Structure 1
Amino acid sequence: MNSYGSLSDNELVDLLKEDQQQALSALYFRYWDKLLSVAGNRLDNPEIAEECVQDVFFSLWQRRNDLKLKYSLATYLAVAVKYQVIKQLDKQYRLQDRKDKSLYASQEVFHPSADEHLLEKELMDRIEVAVNRLPEKCRIVFKLSREQGMTNKQIAADLDIAEKTVEAHLSKAIKDLRNDLSSISPLILLWFFGNNY
């Protein structure tokens, strides 16, 4: 495991495609806590949050031979776990709706299509196109924040700019992306952009 743990995400993905289960284990240990934290922050039930993360890794293994990453693996996994959370929330809403039609009858709920993988791919493609349309500095700051998980302070130090400048770039990026992706369900955008949406 130690030798696998020292490999980059891209190297581990290549090994996944060669049916190396140890590569999946390395990714599992690398990202489990972070993904569980994302799911746990949005779901009241720790067991369901764990189930969401397990589903993401199960899907990653199942799709290993067809996996084509346009983003970093970290971004792919973050979007995938948020998608699983949305599915769980939708399921909870529908169960509650059956119990009390009048309470949730007018509430807009995201309903995954029959082919969830196509929906996920379409969402990620649309987000990628929108991110690539951002001005260069906004795009760099946004990717460091959302894909690398860096804090504003870390980004400022890395790019040798003021934290206020980082905040300004992030605000502009989020505003531009929100406008560009306005046709996507607000619930999906909320999970992707976090509290800044």
Structure 2
Amino acid sequence: MHELSDIELLQALKNSQEAAFNEIYGRYWYQLLVAVMKTVRSESDAEDIVQELFESLWKRRSELQVEGALPAYLFSSARYMSIRYITRHLTRSNYLKRLADHFEGTALPTIESGLYVQELEQQIDAAIAEMPHKMREVFQLSRKHHLSHREIAEKMQISEETVKKQVYYALKLIRSRIGDIPVGLAFYLTTLFWK
């Protein structure tokens, strides 16, 4: 399969030839990992994202619609998956900073991206401030201090199930707050983050 072009590999992949998939993986895995690491700044997170990308590629092999070059398709998918990963983890330490860093040099002007990140931080802070005391404490132990659900349950002398529910409702509250950002930015970010 080494001598096949990307177009030929893609066709073989669509025909469920595992050797074609393995060749694409071998050709592009490391380059994609490096590209994703530039966005998420974590090797383990980057490995997860690239793995998810290739799993998706294999699962959707028969319905793939790749317009243009295969590398462009893979790198574009990796970029979107990286940004989507960051948006899912906005409440974890440093992810807002990573999001701002990613916007530098992209089509979104620096002032606008800075305002967006600042407003997003305000929305998250406001949502945390609105949380009932126990929910806020659980959430901060989970996201700020990175304790596991079990560790939080032991520390607060509550059940693990209660911890899970509190974190779930805290994230739900934050997501509802993030939805209140200006319509123009929301529209732009939605088209940017989600395929």
- Which has more radius of gyration? 2
Q: Give the TM-score normalised by structure 1.
A: 0.49
Q: Give the TM-score normalised by structure 2.
A: 0.49
